Amino acid sequence: MSNQKNQTFVRRLGFALAGLGHALRVERSLRTQAVVLALVVVLLIVLRPGPLWWAAVMLASAGVLAAELFNTALEALADHLHPEQHPRIRIVKDCAAAAVLIAALGAVAVAIALAVHVARR
């Protein structure tokens, strides 16, 4: 296994894209979230909100995707290290899933705020 710290930026970017590609292949929820993000971008193009709304929506969306990727990585590591079910591993996995839920709820809050803003224009 190579040391990723001393690699070029392009090579490290390749590692990150490989991880994203793997997660998209194996995680249905990540694929669903990616499709939702694409639809949200189309909706933003149609609604044409200001740049701060774009930033808020993109940050919220990135937070959801990042949380899902961390959850995927943590679950894969936990399953590799301890393939049998274990109560403490279950707690770790449940907490990681809760992080995704919290990020998603934050994104929904941004979406509601945007909808209210658009409705009042």
**68 annotated active-site:** yes
Cα torsion 40, 45, 49, 53: sign: positive
Q: Is 37 exposed, middle or buried (0-12, 13-18, 19+ CB in 10 A)?
A: middle
N residues, the chain: 121
Could you say which of 27, 68, 75, 84 is catalytic? 68
Q: Which residues are catalytic?
A: 68
